[in-house]
Structure formats: structure tokens, C-alpha cells
Structure 1
């Protein structure tokens, strides 16, 4: 598994506007909440994907990626590595560009499935860290 270059990641973050966050918690002490809030504060539209909550960060949650209306630029995943193949299959049925698994999360099967379909895949890398490293000029 190989992530895109720093330059490619910067380009992804610069052109992206909508981020679906799979496994986003509505608990402000959870990493998923803190990372999604930082991205929301940076100007991204955050779409919570979690069937166990009603809303997070002031946005109504959906139960699955398939329930999202319209295009999604990045699907940011906060689920354990063994769940990635199922999330990847759902991702392929959604209107989404980039599959991004958070720090500490990676799965070879999911990676191969997504790469075979031509999607950019980033694994085991925090989107908030990437954003602070690349500093895209986001309005």
C-alpha cells in the first residue's frame, strides 16, 4: 500500500469541499469528532455517516454513504481496519472520489479493491495532520 505524494494529497485537499466522515461520533472527546470539527472549521462541509447517532457538528447524520445526496469529494473513515473492505464496497456504490482511512487504519483488501477501480486511496494518515502539513488555501 502506498499513499499519494504530499503534493497529490495537497491537491486533493485543495479541490475538495465535501467530506463524508464514516464512524463520526457526536462525542466531543472522540478523535473522529475533533478531527471532523477541525476540518469543518477549516471550511469543509462535513457529512456524518453513522447509523447510531442523529447528528454531529450540527449536521444530520446518515446511516450509510448511499444515503448522501450529491457528490462527495473525500470519504474519511474512522472504523477499525477489519471494517474497511465493507466500507470500500459501499464507497464504490456512492458518488465519491477519494477514500481516506485515518491514522492507524489500513486494510490491504480494501486498498486493492479501490485501486483496481481507479480511486485515490490514503490509509493510516490523519486528514487533519495532512491538512496542517500541506496548508491548502481553502476559502
Structure 2
């Protein structure tokens, strides 16, 4: 069952430091771009993932083609994808042992969430950290 309780979401967003944002866009009016900029402004390191932009720089970070290519540890995978495209990305997050998989508003994949939870990941689904952070009064990440 994906996490819905405010205290659990608060803990996740308080513990996370590095986020791989899958479906990152270079277009500033797109929600994925806005959320990436917002999270960076709150002190998180956000690494963009988008095969079409791989190798480019987005908001000061190198874009990677997939989760497997992102160097170093990742605390959370934030998925801005159509629900039918999330299964392989969830599996890639499981393979990398990413501890939190976050599916954005409207991104629902119950089967993928079950696989992730069975592998030990925490899953948040149909929510947005840009909305949850102010709603829950989460302070900026300490440098």
C-alpha cells in the first residue's frame, strides 16, 4: 500500500537528499521543470533523467538517459511519466536499491508499487513533493 500518512511523507522528505527526477523537461512551463527547480531551491540535489536530453545540462545538473546511468547514491526516484511507462523505471529503481519511489499526481501503478514495496522500497503515489513540502511545513534541507 503506497504511503499516504502525512507523518510518513514528512519523514521521507526530511530524510531524502538526492533525487533522480525521471521525465525531467527543459521547458520551464512543464511541471517536471518547475518541481525540479523548486526542490533545488529547498536544498535537495535533483538529478534529471531523460533519454532525449542525455548529456545536456538542466538547471546546473547533467541529464542522464536512465536511472542505471546516474552516478552515486540516489535517495528517491521521482517519476514524471505516463503511468503505462512507469513499470520498467520502477524495476530499474528496485535494481538500484533506491529506497523511495515517488509517483507524481496522476501517476498510478499499483502493480509497480507492490513490486517496489516487496523489494523494500517505500512508495508514494499520486502526490507531488512541491505540494507536500509546504503543506507539511518541511524545512529546507540543511547544506
TM-score grouping bracket, smaller chain normalisation? over 0.9
Distance (Å, rounded) in 1 between the aligned partners of 2:36 and 2:68:
20
Aligned to 1:126: 128
Aligned to 1:14: 14
Distance (Å, rounded) in 1 between the aligned partners of 2:19 and 2:137:
17
Shift of 1:3: 2.1
Gaps of 5+ in 2: none
- Could you list the runs of 4 or more consecutive aligned residues of structure 1 that deviate by over 4 angstroms after TM superposition? none
Gaps of 5+ in 1: none
Contact between 1:18 and 1:47, CA under 8 Å: does it hold in 2? yes
1:64 and 2:58 matched:
no
Shift of 1:2: 3.5
Aligned to 2:36: 36
TM-superposition CA deviations, 1:52-105 (whole Å, max 9, x none): 112211111001111111111111000000011111111112241100010110
TM-superposition CA deviations, 1:106-132 (whole Å, max 9, x none): 111111111111210011101111111
| Aligned partner of residue 36 in structure 1, secondary structure | helix
| Aligned partner of residue 122 in structure 1, secondary structure | strand
Distance (Å, rounded) in 2 between the aligned partners of 1:73 and 1:63:
18
How high is the TM-score relative to the length of structure 1?
0.95
Quickly say closer, same or farther: Cα 1:19–1:32, change in 2 above 3 A: same
Q: CA RMSD in A?
A: 1.1
TM-superposition CA deviations, 1:14-40 (whole Å, max 9, x none): 111101000000110101000110000
Aligned to 2:91: 89
